[in-house]
Amino acid sequence: MDHLKKIENMALFMRRKILDISFQSSHAAHLGGGLSMVEIMATLYAHILNFDKNKPNWEKRDRFILSKGHGVLGYFSALLAAGFISEEKYATYLTNESDLIAHPIMNLDLGIESSNGSLGQGLSMGIGIAYSAKKNKNLEYKAYVLLGDGECNEGSVWEAIMLAPQLKLDNLIAIVDYNKLQSDMTPSSEIINFGNLAAKFENFGWDVYDIDGHDIIQLVDAFEANHGDGKPKMIVANTVKGKGVSFMENNNEWHHNILTKSKYELALAELEG
Partner 1 sequence: MGSRAVFGQAALSAGEKNPKLMMLSGDLGDSSGLARFKNSFPDRFINTGIAEQNMIGVAAGLAKEGHNVFATSFAPFLTLRSGEQIRMNLGYMKLNVKAVAIGSGLSMAFLGNSHYGLEDVAVMRSIPNLTIITPADCAEIVKVVHAAAKFDGPMYIRLTGGVGNPPVYTEEYDFEIGKSIVLRKGSDITIFATGSMVYESLEAAKILDHLGISSSVVNAHTLKPFDYSEVDKAILSSKTIITVEEHSIIGGLGSIVAEYKAKFTNSPAQLILGLPDNFGKTAEYRFLLEKYRLVGEKIAMDIQKFLKKSRLNNDRS
| Interface positions with partner 1 (CB under 8 A) | 106, 113-116, 118, 120-133, 135, 143, 155-156, 159-160, 162-163, 166-167
Q: Indicate the residue among 201 and 254 with the shorter CB distance to partner 1.
A: 201
Q: Indicate the residue among 35 and 125 with the shorter CB distance to partner 1.
A: 125
Gap between the Cα atoms of 28 and 32, Å rounded: 11
Shortest distance (Å) from residue 234 CB to partner 1 = 16
Q: Indicate the residue among 13 and 58 with the shorter CB distance to partner 1.
A: 58
- DSSP secondary structure of 70-118: T-HHHHHHHHHHHTSS-HHHHTTTTSTT-S--SS---BGGGTB-----S
Shortest distance (Å) from residue 118 CB to partner 1 = 5
Number of H helices, E strands in the chain: 10, 5
Q: Which residues of 213-233 are buried (b: 16+ CB within 10 A; e: fewer)?
A: bbebebbbebbeeeeeeebbb
Shortest distance (Å) from residue 273 CB to partner 1 = 42
Q: Indicate the residue among 39 and 170 with the shorter CB distance to partner 1.
A: 170
Q: Indicate the residue among 129 and 220 with the shorter CB distance to partner 1.
A: 129
**Burial of 59 from C-beta contacts in 10 A (0-12 / 13-18 / 19+):** exposed
Strands 207-212 and 172-178: unpaired
Shortest distance (Å) from residue 2 CB to partner 1 = 33
Shortest distance (Å) from residue 212 CB to partner 1 = 30
Gap between the Cα atoms of 4 and 31, Å rounded: 25
Shortest distance (Å) from residue 122 CB to partner 1 = 8
Q: Which of 222, 221, 193, 192 is nearest to 206 (CA)?
A: 222
Gap between the Cα atoms of 67 and 52, Å rounded: 22
Q: Indicate the residue among 109 and 224 with the shorter CB distance to partner 1.
A: 109
